[in-house]
Amino acid sequence: MKPNENNYDFIVIGAGSAGCVVAGRLSEAGHSVLLLEAGGKNSNPWIHIPLGYAKLYSNPSVNWCYESEPEPNLNGRKLFQPRGKVLGGSGSINGMIYVRGQPEDFDGWRDLGCEGWGFEDVLPFFKKSEHQERGPSKYHATGGPLWISDLPSTYELGDAFHEASHKLGSPYNNDFNGETQLGTGYVQVNTKNGRRWSTADAYLKSTMGRNIKVQTGVLVEQIVVDNGKVCGVKYRDKDGNYLVSARKEVIVSAGTFNSPKVLELSGIGDSEILKEKGIPVTHDLPGVGKNLQDHFGVGLEFKSTKPVTVNDLYNNIFKGGAAMMRYLLFKSGPMASNGNYSNTFITTSEEIGRPDMMITFMSWCTGEDLQPRPFSGFTILAEHIRPDARGSVHVRSSDPEEPPAISFNFLESEADKKAIIAGLRHSRKISQTAPMSDFVAEEILPGLDCESDEEMLEHCRQNGLSLLHCVGTCKMGVDDMAVVDPRLRVRGLKGLRVIDASIMPTIVSANTNAASIMIGEKGAQMIIEDWQ
Ligand SMILES: Cc1cc2nc3c(=O)[nH]c(=O)nc-3n(C[C@H](O)[C@H](O)[C@H](O)COP(=O)(O)OP(=O)(O)OC[C@H]3O[C@@H](n4cnc5c(N)ncnc54)[C@H](O)[C@@H]3O)c2cc1C
């Protein structure tokens, strides 16, 4: 083990959506920061072209490419789990959709005892990060490092989806982060001038990144604890093993799968599980790796009457080439969009009282590997955004190279089954309502003979997906299962925080990147206050 002779105030583990924010803000406040990232630099050109994210979905050069354990209620299927392993983390390989969540989500955190995390408390941190292309308003701000842009153009299938949804009762909504999330409309995305704008772009490249030493290609193996105080980390790169110390704190921002993994490898976790894996217990913290939550989704796939889908760009070299040329010359056209144009947020049952289903229009239909099918096609995806399902992430052994064991337990509760069936039925209704129906040549999956609740459920078991919005495995709270307190300090240890998607006690009713970035902003602010 070689000592890394340099000394830093803070060490941040993981340069993902949240980690880059934390490192950037700490450095801006004058602290020296070492940012350790297992992946490489974000130089793959597909990272920067919005539609290119399909090329990253299962690309191990930028992606951890995990998979879940067999899911008991999904016919024993293992669910593929991409996660960014590159500067910018999952925010460098994601769909770029920017939706924050509903005020009730954050008020719910506050009501669980997380003081300072209600909607009115977190809104300033969403705004602090934001540069809203449309200009400032009650819910939006300009001047922040993170660009939030409209898609460069509307799209005839997207328009048709909105109109059909509207006929079925959804109000038009041009801002899912405004007064209400309910309704139908285009999404906004994290792009700047037609290029992806991850937190690595937003927070590391500006003057904010001046005091940060970024090291890529280093796998953090353990946090070093001395007498209840965290003093450094052990990591390895291709040349060897190192020990580096932090003068002030270590911050774990390795994401929902790897933050609990790094804690467990360090002997911080449920002592029973650690003993079983042969890891000496440093600090018994039973909640580590529990409480995994994600959105559950399942699509209806259609053959399109018009060859204007992403499948056509992929299957026709001339169309694909023309789209790429248009993108390179003008930063517009389908390559400048993420292909997931539109959302309709609905409430599947009156008692629920606020949207619990996000129905997404996707301008492609593919297998689970994201390879487009060989014809014009699109997908309408029903996504249950507040499922009851709770899973876990734990180390399999003391070997840092071994992927963690991930279980979701989707479709366990009757409420989850009821909601997803309602979401599928509404998605089908949209497809059968003009003008969306004008574009439907055929529902190919599951097909119109899939009708009864039981048949719909079987479609879910056979084709249902984790929507890659995993959170909750180092949950914030004040109960015995909380891993961090509301200031994101690991309970019972000094000098250690977790700041990333894993701290969400309950999942937000939206894609999770915006909330992860807000957590980075708020977490950094709390550290700065605590070291004033
Ligand atoms: C394919 C995909 C599509 C998605 N689409 C959207 C979307 O359109 N909109 C949206 O809002 N959300 C989306 N999400 C979810 C969103 O991107 C995540 O919620 C968010 O990025 C989580 O941020 P994080 O900081 O918690 O983790 P991450 O961004 O995953 O960052 C963790 C970082 O830590 C590094 N790391 C892990 N372990 C170690 C270690 N031991 N040593 C050193 N470094 C380590 C990782 O390599 C990674 O860079 C998507 C996710 C995926 C995977």
Q: For residue 256, how far is its CA from the centre of ligand 1 (angstroms)? A: 8
In terms of domains, do 495 and 450 share one? no
In terms of domains, do 181 and 225 share one? no
Ligand 1 mutation target, pool 36, 57, 90, 499, most atoms within 8 A of CB: 90
By residue range, what is the domain housing residue 455? 152-186+296-384+411-463
Write out pLDDT tens, residues 408-435: 999 999 999 999 999 999 999 999 999 9
| 492 assigned to some structural domain | yes
| 1 assigned to some structural domain | yes
| 76 assigned to some structural domain | no
Q: Which of residues 206 and 414 earns the better pLDDT score?
A: 414
| Ligand 1 atom closest to Cα of residue 98 | 11
| 173 assigned to some structural domain | yes
In the chain, the number of structural domains is 2
In terms of domains, do 305 and 208 share one? no
In terms of domains, do 114 and 49 share one? yes
| 468 assigned to some structural domain | no
In terms of domains, do 216 and 267 share one? yes
Ligand 1 mutation target, pool 94, 216, 266, 343, most atoms within 8 A of CB: 94
Q: For residue 83, how far is its CA from the centre of ligand 1 (angstroms)? A: 5
In terms of domains, do 488 and 439 share one? no
Active site residue 48: no
User: What percent of the chain has a predicted confidence (pLDDT) above 90?
Assistant: 93
User: Tell me, what's the pLDDT at 5?
Assistant: 64
In terms of domains, do 454 and 517 share one? no
| 176 assigned to some structural domain | yes
Q: For residue 406, how far is its CA from the centre of ligand 1 (angstroms)? A: 15
Tell me the C-alpha distance between 141 and 333, whole Å: 27
In terms of domains, do 320 and 230 share one? no
Among protein residues, the one with the nearest Cα to ligand 1's atom 24 is 255
Q: Which domain CATH number covers 523? A: 3.50.50.60
446 cis-preceded (ω within 30 degrees of 0):
yes
| Ligand 1 atom closest to Cα of residue 81 | 53
Sign, Cα dihedral of 370, 458, 301, 157: negative
Least confident of 35-39, 163-167, 227-231, 366-370: 366-370
| Ligand 1 atom closest to Cα of residue 199 | 29
In terms of domains, do 17 and 139 share one? yes
Token pair 């209704």 in the structure block, residue: 429
* Alpha carbons within 13 A on the beta-carbon side of 369: 4
- Do 391 and 407 contact (CB within 8 A), yes or no? yes
Three-state SS for 226?
strand
Q: For residue 258, how far is its CA from the centre of ligand 1 (angstroms)? A: 10
Among protein residues, the one with the nearest Cα to ligand 1's atom 8 is 95
Q: For residue 167, how far is its CA from the centre of ligand 1 (angstroms)? A: 37
pLDDT-derived band at 125 (thresholds 50, 70, 90) equals: very high
pLDDT-derived band at 369 (thresholds 50, 70, 90) equals: low
**SS3 sequence of 8-55:** EEEEEECCCHHHHHHHHHHHHCCCCEEEEECCECCCCHHHHCHHHHHH
Write out pLDDT tens, residues 458-495: 999 999 999 999 999 999 999 999 999 999 999 999 99
Among protein residues, the one with the nearest Cα to ligand 1's atom 46 is 85
In terms of domains, do 269 and 357 share one? no
User: Of 419, 437, 463, which residue sits at a domain end?
Assistant: 463
Exactly one of 140, 162, 384, 469 is catalytic; name it: 469
| 23 assigned to some structural domain | yes
Q: For residue 139, how far is its CA from the centre of ligand 1 (angstroms)? A: 25
Q: Which domain CATH number covers 429? A: 3.30.410.40
Write out pLDDT tens, residues 98-116: 999 999 999 999 999 999 9
pLDDT-derived band at 249 (thresholds 50, 70, 90) equals: very high
- pLDDT over threshold 90, residue 449: yes
Q: For residue 415, how far is its CA from the centre of ligand 1 (angstroms)? A: 29
Q: Which of 514, 14, 518 is nearest to 233 (CA)?
A: 14
As for ligand 1, residues whose beta carbon falls within 6 Å of it are 13-19, 36-39, 57, 82-85, 89-91, 93-97, 219-220, 253-256, 258, 262, 468-469, 500-501, 511-514, 516
| Ligand 1 atom closest to Cα of residue 501 | 26
| Ligand 1 atom closest to Cα of residue 19 | 25
Ligand 1 mutation target, pool 203, 508, 513, most atoms within 8 A of CB: 513
Write out pLDDT tens, residues 310-360: 999 999 999 999 999 999 999 988 999 888 789 999 999 989 999 999 999
In terms of domains, do 51 and 22 share one? yes
Tell me the C-alpha distance between 151 and 313, whole Å: 18
In terms of domains, do 256 and 352 share one? no
* ipTM exceeding the 0.85 mark: yes
| Ligand 1 atom closest to Cα of residue 511 | 11
Q: For residue 431, how far is its CA from the centre of ligand 1 (angstroms)? A: 32
| 236 assigned to some structural domain | yes
Bridge-based pairing of strands 8-13 and 240-252 is parallel
Output phi, psi for 200, to 5 deg.
-65, -40
